Structure 1
Amino acid sequence: MTKMKQTGLRKMTIRKASLNAVTVMGLTVVACTPSGSASSDTETTAQDPELLIPSTATLERVGELLYDPMADSIHPDPRMASMIRLGFQISQDPQTYASEFVGNDLTCGNCHLNAGQRDRALPLLGVAATFPQYRRRDDRLVSLEDRIGGCFKRSMNGTAPPYDHPVMLALDAYLNWLSEGFAMGERPAWLGQNEIAVEARIPIEELDVNRGEELYNLHCAPCHGLDGQGIDLILAKPGPLWGPLSWNDGAGAARIWKLAGYIKHAMPLTAPGTLTDEEAQLISAYVNSHERPEYPDKESDFPDGTRPADAVYDTLVFSTHPLMRSDGRRP
């Protein structure tokens, strides 16, 4: 079903589309087929939750899009429309469209579910309008291109595309298309919501990784596998959560509370949002108790000296990984 919605900021076609293959913590979107169209004159605001796929949407909706970049007439300039579509394709399948900059089997869609259009799954709607922004990890003002490059270097364990490279320009175009109508500096309410409240955070040394493994096996292994490398579900193929083809130890997901905030609200896709704060942190501890690629420049992060207390791979925070066994294996 397709409908037209006028947001008061812009008019856009909201489509439900089926993706032939999808990216969810390692699921790759390859192609998209819109299902039809209809229209409505409903007025909404930039903060309206109906602008996003709900966080409670389950596995059968992993291929749904509200804003379909493959639709007709997404931009009056066909050259710009082509770049928007390329950016979407790169975000869902960088191994095909940006292979020279990718060093693992993950994609942008691994974290930004439904192509960045899902609530509580690091949505990208409106995000381009929030840049430039100050980032504590860099201790400086960063651009959207800086942020994209950081994802390539850390989450995809690769290298940042040059600012004028077609890969960077296309991703820039897609993110700006998702942000049309948002005022510069406006921060949509749905950004920054994947967090574990400070008062609910369990001290790293008190996390029971063995219990985390039990919870992982119960809630996560049916899709991600006991080995964390992903099971082909036909509808979707989860990617590696640890090991050489996963994110490196400089990525945000390599931090316990950071990853737990994502797990808490976005996983498992069979019942998202049903895990407790404690369960999410225990699962995060188990996922991040494994070996993963090393980011070579971690020491340059957080130059103001206030390094995050959950960065278990950071030797400036923990001299040795606090979850490692004496035999080199993880609990």
Structure 2
Amino acid sequence: MNDVFESFADLAALAEELRAEDPKQRRVAVIELGDSGDPAAVRLLAGLSSDPDSGVRRQVAIALGSFDGPETAAALVRILVDADVDVASAASESLAELKESDAAAPLLTLVGHPSAFVRESVYRSLKGLRNRDALEPALKALRDPEPAVRVQAVGVIGYLKLEETLPALKHAALDGNANVRLVAINALAFSRSQAATNAIAAGLVDKDWRVREAAAAALALSAAGVTHSAPLITALDDAFWQVRLSAIRSLGKLEARGSVSRIAHELNHNQPNVRKEAAAALGTLKAREARQALLAVADDPDADVRKNVRWALQQLEHARQDG
């Protein structure tokens, strides 16, 4: 507890301030309650969720972000539907900070709210709580007309990491909205099944480069990712350097030795980040056949690339000495 709050008398004094006629005085009291760290402050703050001054209500939403649990969630849920956009936004941000799983119950009461903003905020908050009760509403929300809501619903499902949700995540990876597909691809990486890996690999040919980048990265996390080295090598021809970089990194992590010559070619890419990642991957692979290609770029104009080239050459030398 903060040194300022050494007794219940301090809290009682602030309770009096909350009834002050001047809204500025009430706002200051709210700030101090938020700083107190005293769980008893939550009830006092909740009592101001309908304060006539929007500035006070917004400050209440911010202050509640310092606390956790179902009582805090219930208070924030009331503020989330505030008519003032700034107040509701502050409540949404504080809700996202909740960590206790039992804070999910008040949030679940709003999953069918008519406001897309409210529904999105609810699912964004539920994601971090990892509460199984949120699964069924989240699965239904995959059909929500608002893409932003579907994105957060996929996040809820992904955070639960349940094999039974694999069909729903595979379906979300084909959603008409790129942001939904991107989140679904990332969510699929938890599964150790070949079906999940296949769904991720399909993202390598998505029309949106961000989804392709995510798919390339997710394959390195998938247990069966090594079976998709070939499409990752093909991804090295992608028009977007971010996708190439992600594919190079994954090929290195997957120890895909069949990719050495193609990765070595990327040492001459016009984007330094790609050259740097290519050198690192060749070092990870201990690809002695790439030694000449690495020596050829030892004087690369980019310092980070030169550093990675030196490191890669050291790895090749260690591999040679080890036989």
TM range (shorter): under 0.3
Which structure ranks higher in relative contact order (CA pairs < 8 Å, sequence separation ≥ 6)? 1
Q: Which has the larger radius of gyration?
A: 2
Q: Which has the higher helix share?
A: 2
Give the TM-score of the pair, scaled to structure 1.
Answer: 0.26
Q: Which has the higher strand share?
A: 1
Give the TM-score of the pair, scaled to structure 2.
Answer: 0.26
